[in-house]
Amino acid sequence: MLEVSGIAKRFGATVALDRVSLAAERGRVLALIGENGAGKSTLLKVLSGAHQSDSGTMSLDGQPFLPHSPMDARRRGVAIVYQELTLAPDLSVEDNLLLGQPGTGMGMLFRSRQRERIGEALRQVGLPHLDPKARTGDQSIATQQLIEIARALATDARLILFDEPTSSLPAADVDRLFQLIDDLRRKGLAIIYISHFLEEVRRIADDYAVLRDGHSVGSGQLEQISDEQIISLMVGRDVTDLFPTVSHTIGDPRLQVRKLSGSPIPSDVSFELRRGEIFGLAGLVGAGRTELLRCLFGLRPARDGTVLLEGRPLPNSVGRRKQWGLGLLSEDRKTEGLAQNLSIIENLAMGNHGRYSRLGWLNLAARSRDCQRWMRRVEVKAENGQQCVDELSGGNQQKVAFARLLAQDAEVYLLDEPTKGIDVGTKSEIYRMMGELAAAGKTLVFVSSYLPELLAVCDTIGVMARGRLTEVRPAAEWNEEDLMTAAVATPAASEETEFA
Amino acid sequence: MNLKRRLGSISLALLNHGPALALIAIVLLFTIADNAFGSGSFFSGRNARVIINSAALVAVPALGMTLIIIAGGIDLSAGTALTLSGTALAIAFRDYTIDAQAAGAGTWIALALLGGLGVGVLCGLLNGIIISVTEMVPFIVTLGTMTIFLGLGQVIADESTVYPQTEHLPDWLRYLCYTGSNEERYWIPFLPIPSSGLIAILLGGLVAALLRLTVFGRNIVAVGSSPSTARLCGIRVGATTVWVYALAGIFVAVGALLYFANVKNGNPSDGTGKELEIIAAVVLGGGSLSGGRGSVSGTLVGALIIKTISSGCTMLSIPNTYTHIIIGVIIIVAVLIDGLRNGTPAWLFNRLGRRAD
């Protein structure tokens, strides 16, 4: 029904998609599988008309299909159910279903004509009793997801794309969703289902297509391939990067985390870290790794559990935890990690001003001297310390953010995706600095979605899935396949997980 | 190419002193126009004193507003808080019946001043606490308190203007805003600058030092530039916000004292609309309503620009209505030009460059 062949899309110098091909058939579910950053979202955007491909062809029922806008794609019968809900919470269910619908003339709505259609769509998704006048935001997440699907059905969609639809659903509602997808398949719709979770894919899909680094690397019928083969298709990249390691020895226990829970994630996480240890955290986006770090640092409230540093429970505020030696490198460099409109020195000194002051008055010369020292230490490439941070490259920005932790003289480094979006050279510099810190007896937590760097840099690696820390082993006892298997596994206890 | 670069660097240098250059240009313009069409009294010592005094009345509360705007906030209640505080002062001096020269008056005067100042600080503190506890948008919170302060003022003044007896006021207070020709009435002998202007400059220096040289000042800039980064760095964003608004309350209270010394009465309804003049002074001086940016000297010059234009228009017998239009246009143009410094003057210079090629 849908044929995609040789699609390419680049953003500036970044190649997001390169010669991607796949086919979706009527009455079948195609699972689109790939790691974070493999190009799934970009492909989805091309299919939905949000982006236009640079080259390649697409056809729908034999007709050329080149949607120039999401509206255009919808008119041709292609609808998307997004990962994040895209319903307007303040509008009624009916109004949400009407958004972007055909059947409006000269900007006027003809509700009576469309009510039948809406009622039919709600019946199909199993919500026949839902009041179309009810406020959408008052419905549960699962119901909202069904409303999204009803919106797709109301447009007479023939091909529906699901973008990781279960990531925001509790387990019981996942069954309901799968039942619905199965019904749609039987009605003869074509479905493309994007997910990380291989169990889900096995349950619902007929065919698979794997993307890696923007390429199609394999496709076929799911019956004819094992999980192990799919995983090796997903991760099978050459490890040619340099991972400089600094030898370091692991010392006494320092940080003990016991049954730490947030609302709703992380959930019941316990582990122990020692001096000179680099602890890696693997897992999918949304598995709760960022939330765990933020709970530890005090930026996210913990619902339950204790965290002991050197045997003493941590204080509450971020400021106090910083004084105790905790430091967090944010995964969001642009809006949280650095104040983009301030200078390098201002960013380095932010929150550390107490070090250069007496009775609240700053010693500007001391501040400047110290910041210049840290800039040299991490080799920031900039004209001078007065340069505005947003003029620096991503890698240099990350060095500034990293240097702030050094200036803070942190003992426990919580690093959230420290190498995301930076060049290979800077990456290896960051690995080297991490090794040097461990050699100096510091404790590091290293969250990353890039498995080779975790395996090369860490002493111990834990895997998180659906808010839980499922497995911790020494790095030597892991390999990429095992990590991926553990990350996509649904933890046995996940039914008990409360999704508030 | 060379020409383009030179144009770029020259214009950047100009933009960095934008407000001051604009002030000079405006003074020149009005001087010429006044000499041609008016009475010729615009460019005179006396008129300069009048302008400085009226600018100081705006500039002092605007210093507090500068702090708030740098911290990423806004205070719409500054105008009515100012007249509430001024009305409280006026009531204190009305109900007090000993002459200022009599023995024991000093204590009472000090109490009255403290009371007036306290009202201003409380207003600011209230704003700060509501904003940081409820995490509501400052615009909405201070829109609410603006009306509350207006109403409170009308309640304590019995909905009328409060007139204290002039002989109850100490001399220094009576002549705080003096702009006349008796040189003995000025603080610096033989240098007739209104005391209100000196106070504005003094406080401006303090605020500039606070912003540049103290941990608290740098935290204000951090909170205004990126609250999430500030939080990440362990800065207590909520507490910083409360302190900023409370501090701004002090400047509002000092502004109220100057205003009271100028008009010598207390009318709680006078304050409506003043907040916009105060905000305009900050914005003309380079303050950014998205936070993180603002300058003390800019704010002082901004207040001077506004008052110079009103004064010039009066001298040229331009009706008040047109003065409003002129000031409005200047605010928009100033922010537009200022955007060039902050953002990309590229679009402009690309055009110039293409033509030069």
Q: What DSSP string runs through B96-155?
A: --S-TTSTTHHHHHHHHHHHHHHHHHHHHHHHHHHHHHH---HHHHHHHHHHHHHHHHHH
Count the Cβ atoms, other than its own, within 10 Å of residue A71: 12
Q: In the 8-state DSSP scheme, what is residue A268?
A: S
List A residues 149-208 in contact with B (Cβ-Cβ < 8 A).
none
Contact A351 B235 (CB under 8 A): yes
Contact A335 B292 (CB under 8 A): no
Q: Cα separation of A424 and B302, whole Å? A: 49
Nearest by CB to A318, which of B213, B218, B231?
Answer: B231
Residue B316 is predicted with a pLDDT of 85
Nearest by CB to B213, which of A338, A349, A362?
Answer: A362
Tell me how many domains chain B contains: 1
pTM of the model: 0.73
Residues of chain A with Cβ-Cβ distance to B230 below 8 Å are 339, 350-351
Please determine, for residue A490, whether its predicted confidence score (pLDDT) is greater than 80: no
Nearest by CB to A342, which of B219, B225, B231?
Answer: B225
The alpha-carbon gap from B272 to the nearest alpha carbon of chain A, in Å, equals: 34
Which domains does chain A carry?
Answer: 2-235 (3.40.50.300), 239-325+410-500 (3.40.50.300), 343-409 (no CATH)
Which residue range is the domain that position B227 belongs to?
2-356
Residues of chain B with Cβ-Cβ distance to A321 below 8 Å are 234
Nearest by CB to A336, which of B216, B225, B232?
Answer: B232
List A residues 396-425 in contact with B (Cβ-Cβ < 8 A).
404
The alpha-carbon gap from B286 to the nearest alpha carbon of chain A, in Å, equals: 15
Residue A304 is predicted with a pLDDT of 87
The alpha-carbon gap from A348 to the nearest alpha carbon of chain B, in Å, equals: 10
Residues of chain A with Cβ-Cβ distance to B221 below 8 Å are 342, 346
- Give pLDDT tens digits along chain B (357 positions): 455 556 656 665 665 677 888 898 988 988 888 888 877 788 888 888 889 999 999 999 999 999 999 999 999 999 999 999 999 988 888 877 666 666 667 777 888 888 888 999 999 999 999 999 998 999 999 999 999 999 999 998 888 888 888 777 787 888 888 877 777 777 777 778 888 999 999 999 999 999 999 999 999 999 999 999 999 998 999 999 999 999 999 999 999 999 998 888 888 888 888 898 999 999 988 888 888 889 999 999 999 999 999 888 888 888 888 888 888 888 888 777 766 655 544 445 444 433 333
Contact B222 A351 (CB under 8 A): yes
Contact A341 B234 (CB under 8 A): no
The alpha-carbon gap from B232 to the nearest alpha carbon of chain A, in Å, equals: 7
Chain B contact for A315 (CB, 8 A cutoff): no
Query: Which residues in B have their CB inside 8 Å of a CB on A?
Result: 212-216, 218-219, 221-222, 225-226, 228-236, 292-293
Residue A238 is predicted with a pLDDT of 44
Chain B contact for A240 (CB, 8 A cutoff): no
Residues of chain A with Cβ-Cβ distance to B235 below 8 Å are 319, 350-351
Chain B contact for A357 (CB, 8 A cutoff): yes
Q: In the 8-state DSSP scheme, what is residue B233?
A: T
Per-residue three-class SS string for A362-431: ECHHHHHHHHHHHHHHCCCCCCCCCCEHHHCCHHHHHHHHHHHHHHHCCCEEEEECCCCCCCHHHHHHHH
Contact A353 B215 (CB under 8 A): yes
- The percent of residues above 70 in pLDDT, for chain A, comes to 90
The alpha-carbon gap from B215 to the nearest alpha carbon of chain A, in Å, equals: 5
Contact A421, A394 (CB under 8 A): yes
The answer for residues whose C-beta is within 8 angstroms of residue A289's C-beta and 6 or more apart is: A281, A283, A416, A447, A464
Question: Of B268, B292, B298, B265, which Cα lies nearest the Cα of B280?
Answer: B298
- pLDDT-wise least confident of A164-173, A417-426, B28-37: A164-173
Q: List the single residue in A with minimal CA-CA distance to B212.
A: A362
Contact B229 A338 (CB under 8 A): yes
More confident residue, B270 or A235: B270
Best of A294, A335, A352, A353 to substitute, by most chain B Cβ atoms within 10 angstroms, is A353
Chain B contact for A388 (CB, 8 A cutoff): no
Nearest by CB to B234, which of A318, A330, A364?
Answer: A318
The answer for residues whose C-beta is within 8 angstroms of residue B347's C-beta and 6 or more apart is: none
The answer for residues whose C-beta is within 8 angstroms of residue A123's C-beta and 6 or more apart is: none
Chain B contact for A285 (CB, 8 A cutoff): no
Note every long-range contact of A25-28, with CB atoms under 8 Å and residues 24 or more positions apart, other chains counting. Answer: A25/A1, A25/A190, A25/A207, A26/A1, A26/A158, A26/A188, A26/A189, A26/A190, A27/A185, A27/A186, A27/A188, A27/A189, A27/A190, A28/A185, A28/A190, A28/A191, A28/A206, A28/A207
How far is the CA of B77 from the CAs of A349, B135, B203, in angstroms? Answer: 33, 17, 21
Q: In the 8-state DSSP scheme, what is residue A17?
A: E
Contact A350, B222 (CB under 8 A): yes
A242-266 pLDDT per residue, tens: 677 788 888 888 899 988 888 888 8
Contact A357 B225 (CB under 8 A): no
Contact B229 A341 (CB under 8 A): no
Chain B contact for A340 (CB, 8 A cutoff): yes
Sign of CA pseudo-dihedral A131, A135, A140, A142:
positive
Contact A341 B292 (CB under 8 A): yes
How far is the CA of A244 from the CAs of A236, A477, B123, in angstroms? Answer: 22, 20, 58
More confident residue, A83 or B173: B173
The answer for residues whose C-beta is within 8 angstroms of residue B216's C-beta and 6 or more apart is: A360, B210, B240, B243
Contact A328 B232 (CB under 8 A): yes
A187-225 pLDDT per residue, tens: 899 999 987 677 788 889 999 999 887 888 889 998 888
Residues of chain A with Cβ-Cβ distance to B231 below 8 Å are 299, 318
Contact B213 A340 (CB under 8 A): no
Q: List the single residue in B with minimal CA-CA distance to A320.
A: B234
Q: List the single residue in B with minimal CA-CA distance to A321.
A: B234
Count the Cβ atoms, other than its own, within 10 Å of residue A358: 9
Size of interface A-B (CB pairs under 8 A): 81
The alpha-carbon gap from B240 to the nearest alpha carbon of chain A, in Å, equals: 12
A472-482 pLDDT per residue, tens: 889 888 888 88
Nearest by CB to B231, which of A299, A354, A364?
Answer: A299
Contact A360 B225 (CB under 8 A): no
Chain B contact for A360 (CB, 8 A cutoff): yes
Chain B contact for A85 (CB, 8 A cutoff): no
Best of A342, A357, A363, A402 to substitute, by most chain B Cβ atoms within 10 angstroms, is A342
- pLDDT-wise least confident of A101-115, A288-302, A324-338, B263-277: A101-115
Contact A335 B228 (CB under 8 A): yes
Contact B225 A339 (CB under 8 A): yes
Element (H, E) at A199: helix A198-204
Contact B218 A362 (CB under 8 A): yes
Q: Cα separation of A360 and A337, whole Å? A: 25
Chain B contact for A337 (CB, 8 A cutoff): yes
CATH number at residue B194: 1.10.3470
Q: List the single residue in A with minimal CA-CA distance to B223.
A: A339
Q: Cα separation of A386 and A344, whole Å? A: 6
Residue A169 is predicted with a pLDDT of 67
The alpha-carbon gap from A309 to the nearest alpha carbon of chain B, in Å, equals: 18
